[in-house]
Amino acid sequence: MTSDPHTRADTSEPVHKLACTPLRFAGAQFQLYNTGALYWPAQGTLIVSDMHFGKAERIARRGGPLLPPFGDLDTLARLDATLFVTRPDRVISLGDAFDDDAAGHALPAAIRNRLHAIADATDWIWITGNHDPGAPDLPGRSLPQLHESGFTFRHIAEQGPDISGHYHPKVALAGRTLRAALLGRDHLILPAFGSYTGGLPSTHPALKTLTAPGVAYALGPKILRVPLRT
């Protein structure tokens, strides 16, 4: 990447009510939620990416600027809400669930205990990311990637068709910046699920190369389709 998405300001509006829209990719039917999660009904699988738990602690530990202390609580609340609606049998986290490997151990007990309970209640798969290459000390399986049904779940898009995260895509609409899922022919790139994670605009060359021409799904109270042009 030529630009770090994790340093950009996040001006997304909060999502007050869950909404979803159908999305078809690589022959499979999904439901995209405005929380940033993707649900695969045929496999009972919920997919999230880039939750970045412990981001505020990691930045403070390294002497950086202080972030609002409630980011992890907001992320956890949206995860709980999406799990309640979808009731998945399996969850796939596409990497960077934690802002670094140490951040997972430094979480407040209430958040860590809730994550443990959630992961223990489903078949949870932790795809490793560039921020958290180690396996978390939580229930579930840790994998570098997962091949299934003709496509690959991984952290960073490579050979498609694949479903990935990493870039924290955004779109600008009417003066607002919204998280977005980007759908191209061979790549489906999910937004960061975590709060205060920043991101890259959908017009960034790294994203245009992967997804244009395609569609951006802008995630606000309503989900809006925005064409991605080359």
The three-state DSSP-derived secondary structure of 97-110 is CECCHHHHHCCCHH
Residue 6 banded pLDDT, cuts 50, 70, 90 = very low
Query: CA–CA separation, 3 vs 15, rounded Å?
Result: 27
Domains of the chain listed by start with CATH number: 5-228 (3.60.21)
pLDDT digits (tens, 9 = 90+) for 137-179: 788 999 999 999 999 999 999 999 999 999 999 999 988 999 9
Cα distance between the two ends of the chain: 18
Contact between 1 and 204 under an 8 Å Cβ cutoff? The reply is: no
Residue 7 banded pLDDT, cuts 50, 70, 90 = very low
Provide the mean pLDDT of the chain.
86
Contact between 94 and 31 under an 8 Å Cβ cutoff? The reply is: no
Helix, coil or strand: residue 111: helix
Write out the two tokens for 220.
């606000």
pLDDT digits (tens, 9 = 90+) for 184-222: 999 999 999 998 777 999 999 999 999 999 999 999 999
- Percent of the chain past pLDDT 70, that is, above it, reads 81
